[in-house]
Chains A and B, each alone.
Chain A
Amino acid sequence: QSVLTQPPSMSAAPGQKVTISCSGSSSNIGRNYISWYQQFPGTAPKVLIYENNKRFSGIPDRFSGSKSGTSATLGITGLQTGDEAEYYCGTWDTSLSLWVFGGGTKLTVL
């Protein structure tokens, strides 16, 4: 069971918006900066968002990140079939002295 909680799966239609949540605690999300990663099957993850809400180089502005208290959210607007992937949140947990990832959210674009 992951320290960071994400919904296992989500689905939405092309063109729609989706928000993927990542819930943690005061020792991880509540204290440190969070990043988000996208992973296609059989490939390495790549960073989308870092320091809560900064888009990494080359990431379209359809992707956004936010944080409030002990939760964070990845938003994707104008969904495309190419956005079908697994999405992970990650941050440092100060109490556990451990970098933690969420369990991942499999996004399906119907």
Chain B
Amino acid sequence: QVHLQESGPGLVRPSETLSLACDVSGYSISSGYYWGWIRQPPGRGLEWIATMYHSGNNYNNPSLRSRVSMSVDTSKNQFSLKLYSVTAADTAVYYCARQNLTINRGVMHSWFDVWGQGTLVTVSS
């Protein structure tokens, strides 16, 4: 059974860097699938942040692209997110997820099939 678990600080100061890791168990990251981050501000809807393949192919939310860095560490079977220069607007529950993603004749087939439990990150001084 595939299990994803987020980890990282629950409190980040404004202007600093939010760093989260997602440990994957029950499946080898290097075997396939894409891996993504989604966040949800308190009381609000879901917002996709970024998606990455273990070989480096990646997609980022254009509104966050300049502040986002995502990486995959196959040796640890883990992938990570860094969000730079955070503000209070970045306060949210952050989820990591496994993403099915294929593109066939320009049509994207994609969905998130396994999610972590989520971790609340608060940006405050």
Interface residues of A (CB under 8 A from B): 2, 31-33, 35, 37, 43-47, 50-51, 56, 88, 90-92, 94, 96-104
Tally of B interface residues using CB under 8 Å: 23
B111 A32 Cβ-Cβ under 8 A = no
Q: Which residues of B contact A91 (CB under 8 A)?
A: 108, 110
Q: Which of B47, B59, B112, B116 has the most CB of A within 10 A?
A: B112
A44 B108 Cβ-Cβ under 8 A = no
Q: Which of A43, A44, A90, A102 contacts B111 (CB 8 A)?
A: A90
- A56–B106 Cα gap in the complex (Å)? 24
Closest 3 CB pairs of A and B: A35-B111, A99-B48, A50-B111
A35 B112 Cβ-Cβ under 8 A = yes
A56 B45 Cβ-Cβ under 8 A = no
B117 A104 Cβ-Cβ under 8 A = no
B51 A50 Cβ-Cβ under 8 A = no
Q: Which residues of A contact B113 (CB under 8 A)?
A: 47, 50, 56
A33 B110 Cβ-Cβ under 8 A = yes
For the complex formed, measure the closest distance between the CB of A63 and the CB atoms of chain B, giving whole angstroms: 14
B25 at the A/B interface (Cβ < 8 Å)? no
